[in-house]
């Protein structure tokens, strides 16, 4: 039975900035890979029906796993829903990711749901990976650095 992870986080940054971190290719490579991995993006078209392709490389072993998918729903600063499919035939099926962004008094309430995690991937490993990614996301979006010059 495929697994599901759900995460909730309040981030001290406005929804527009948090949403932008999910939709800007330069931001994605900075925060989306879990600790110990680097990302490479081959395609990134964030719109309903748009597709993406990327890979994560384990920095220790230099082994990569690639995946891609399609955006099912894009509501500016409110919601992203997309599917992931690994290229590796040992990781079958599709995962559906739903990310919601809600303005709250201190910034953004972020909810992440990932469904359809292949049985061979421990759900707790996905949960840990998402926690690590969200730590990096916070480090990217919470600083309020004024314009230089």
pTM: 0.93
CA 104 to chain centre: 21
Q: How many CB atoms are located within 10 Å of the residue 115 CB?
A: 15
User: Pairing state of beta strands 51-58 and 79-86?
Assistant: unpaired
Edge to edge, the sheet with strand 79-86 lists 3-11, 107-117, 95-104, 79-86, 64-75, 51-58, 37-44
Residues in the chain: 149
pLDDT of residue 83: 97
Q: What is the pLDDT of residue 93?
A: 85
What would the pLDDT profile of 89-103 be if each residue is shown by its tens digit?
A: 888 889 999 999 999
Tokens 């749901």 correspond to what residue?
Answer: 113
Mean pLDDT score of the chain: 95
Q: Give the Cα separation of 78 and 17 in Å (integer).
A: 11
Bridge partners, residue 40, by sequence: 55
* Other CB atoms within 10 A of residue 90 CB: 8
Burial label for 137, CB within 10 Å (0-12, 13-18, 19+), is buried
Q: Which domains are present in the chain?
A: 3-141 (3.30.530.20)
Determine the pLDDT at residue 89.
Answer: 87
Burial 4-27 (b: 16+ CB within 10 A, else e): ebebebebebbbebbbbbbbeeeb
């Amino acid at each position: 039975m495929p697994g599901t992870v759900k995460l909730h986080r309040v981030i001290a940054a406005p929804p527009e900035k948090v949403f932008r971190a999910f939709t800007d290719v330069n931001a994605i490579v900075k925060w989306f890979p879990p600790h110990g991995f680097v990302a490479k993006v081959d395609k990134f078209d964030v719109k309903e029906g748009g597709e993406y392709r990327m890979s994560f490389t384990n920095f220790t072993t230099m082994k990569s796993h690639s995946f891609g998918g399609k955006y099912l729903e894009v509501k500016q600063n409110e919601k992203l829903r997309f599917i992931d499919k690994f290229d590796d035939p040992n990781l079958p099926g599709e995962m559906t990711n739903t990310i919601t962004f809600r303005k709250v008094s201190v910034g953004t309430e972020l909810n992440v749901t990932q469904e359809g995690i292949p049985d061979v991937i421990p759900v707790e490993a996905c949960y840990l990976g998402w926690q690590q990614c969200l730590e990096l996301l916070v480090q990217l979006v919470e600083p309020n650095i004024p314009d230089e010059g």
